[in-house]
Amino acid sequence: MALLRALAKLRGELGIVVSAIHFNHTLRGDESEADYAFVKELASQHGLELHDARGDVGGRAREHFLSIEAAAREARYEYFWSLINSGCLDKIATAHTLDDQAETVLLRLIRGTGTRGLGGIHPELTGPALNQTSRGSIIRPLLHTRRCEIERYLVGLGQPWREDSSNRDLHHTRNRVRQSLIPLLEREFNPEIIERLAGFAEIAQDEEDYWDESVRQILVDKQLRISSLQAFPLAVRRRLVRAAAPSGLQLGFREVESILQVAAGTDDDPKSCNLSAGWAARSSGNAITFVPPQAQPQAESKPAGGQDGSIPGVLRLPVPGRVSDPSTSRCFEARRVVLADPAAGYNPEHLYAPHSLPSELAVRTWRFGDRFWPAHTKAPKKLKELFQVKKIAGELRSAWPLMVAAREDDEEIVWVQGFAAPAHLRPRAGETEAILLGEAV
């Protein structure tokens, strides 16, 4: 709202034509419709053209195994780029603030990320261009402005604004960071923590820009040659692996480490590894090749009825809810339980705090390089090592089920059959509800 009012006021001085964009995620019923009506009226008051669209974000999240937040962002940014590439707009300005930047850096640090993720929100985004004449970009002109300054500006104008009610829902991690963690850090550790985190993001962005250019000079044809890979320090090898990945394949830290192990090429190392979205990486002569899902060899048909216990592909498990493997008799569930009920019959070691899980989990089988953080351990461990400790036979491991939560930059294995829930995902003292994960009997 502040960005729109400021640009509308300065359009003559800047020599720009200003319009407004509204994307309805259709997540909040009447409240979403009231948001649209509010923006439409404001655009009319200031003589601004309004570009608007809507999308089924909930359906998109279920279909593509995304969090609601990730699905919403994908949907609206697709719309943004369509406006730019169609020639309607040259630039789109979004009102991300210094507070948003700090929250993003802190969230990614908590969840685990590399220096690219710690760069947070970038001041300008370019691409994907769909035609030769498209030169547009998405800019964030308020990225160095505090949220409190923006609110003061709106109050001074007498301009009302809308508040998304979901911003008060503490089940969302970002809301807990905004309303609880950052105030604690400001009060008890550093009153300028917002500025410090945002400054760290700026440093990380500059570091990544330098390394991106350096890696492009090394990896001219995007071919990942094993002989040349081994000549570089580990930090450079990791960046080369990420840069060589096909467009659209985002590699997490554990996947990069698995690819490097394949490239090591010793007798004890695997010759291939599974990646996200059905991709695989394998050594072929002096190169690491990425194999897309459709090129994977088809497994032999498995008998129905769960005789081999396999879970082909990935099953999507709503939280709460249940999902069945159509080719076997196996069924997995995420069941809401009342902690005050002594007769519920659940294993407390398999309970999860509702706010620690996304709205949907992926159920799949073990892949080489998978890591899990079992209770009573100081750090995540390779599942291969955990299987060895539990003496789980090698022929059983390929069908061993686990559940995965999609995070912003990576994925986290939250449940493995036969293992207790990670300590950081368990219910806290005083909570009255929990989620029980497991295979339904």
Give the pLDDT of residue 178.
Answer: 92
Pair of tokens at residue 49:
């053209």
Give the pLDDT of residue 311.
Answer: 57
Q: How many CB atoms lie within 10 A of CB 289?
A: 15
Please give the distance of CA 12 from its chain centroid, rounded to a whole number: 40
Same domain, 116 and 244: no
Residues 417, 423: contact at Cβ < 8 Å? Answer: no
Same domain, 358 and 257: no
In angstroms, the CA 280 to CA 265 distance is 16
Residues 390, 418: contact at Cβ < 8 Å? Answer: yes
Same domain, 132 and 234: no
202 assigned to some structural domain:
no
> Global pTM?
0.68
Same domain, 150 and 88: yes
94 assigned to some structural domain:
yes
SS3 state of residue 31: helix
306 assigned to some structural domain:
no
CA dist list (Å): 249 to 72, 110, 206, 278, 352: 20, 23, 23, 10, 30
Q: Which range, 130-139, 261-270, 277-286, 289-298, has the best average confidence (pLDDT)? A: 277-286
159-195: per-residue pLDDT in tens? 999 998 888 888 778 888 999 999 999 999 999 999 9
Same domain, 125 and 40: yes
Same domain, 37 and 180: yes
Give the pLDDT of residue 134.
Answer: 55
Residue 350 confidence (pLDDT) above 90: no
Q: Across all residues in the chain, what is the average pLDDT?
A: 84
| Cα separation of the two ends of the chain | 52
358 assigned to some structural domain:
yes
Q: Which residues have a Cβ under 8 Å from the Cβ of 428 and sit 6 or more positions away?
A: 353
Same domain, 225 and 170: no
Same domain, 272 and 390: no
Same domain, 257 and 180: no
Query: What CATH number is attached to the domain comprising 155?
Result: 3.40.50.620
338 assigned to some structural domain:
yes
Residue 372 confidence (pLDDT) above 60: yes
Q: Which of 243, 266, 295 is the last residue before a domain boundary?
A: 295
Same domain, 280 and 328: no
If one counts the domains in the chain, the total is 3
SS3 state of residue 128: coil
Which segment of 27-31, 94-98, 280-284 scores lowest on mean pLDDT? 280-284
Mean pLDDT for 302-330 is 66
Residue 81 confidence (pLDDT) above 60: yes
Mean pLDDT for 390-407 is 82
Q: What is the 3-state secondary structure (H, E, C) of 47-62?
A: CCEEEEEECCHHHHHH
State the residue range of the domain holding 227. Answer: 219-295
Type of residue numbered 106: L
212 assigned to some structural domain:
no
172 assigned to some structural domain:
yes
Q: Residue 428's pLDDT band (boundaries 50, 70, 90)?
A: confident
Burial class (CB in 10 A: 0-12, 13-18, 19+), 165: exposed
Q: How many CB atoms lie within 10 A of CB 128?
A: 10
Q: Which of 244, 267, 295 is the last residue before a domain boundary?
A: 295
Residue burial 373-412, b: 16+ Cβ < 10 Å; e: rest: bbeeeeebeebeebbeeeebeeeeeebbbbbbbbbbbbbb
Q: What pairs with residue 87 in β-bridges?
A: none
Same domain, 324 and 264: no
21 assigned to some structural domain:
yes
203-222: per-residue pLDDT in tens? 999 999 999 899 988 887 77
Question: Which residue is it, tokens 């002594």?
Answer: 342
For Cα atoms 57, 59, 65, give the angle at the middle one, nearest 5 degrees. 95
More confident residue, 320 or 247: 320
Mean pLDDT for 318-336 is 83
Same domain, 422 and 275: no
More confident residue, 186 or 250: 186
SS3 state of residue 304: coil
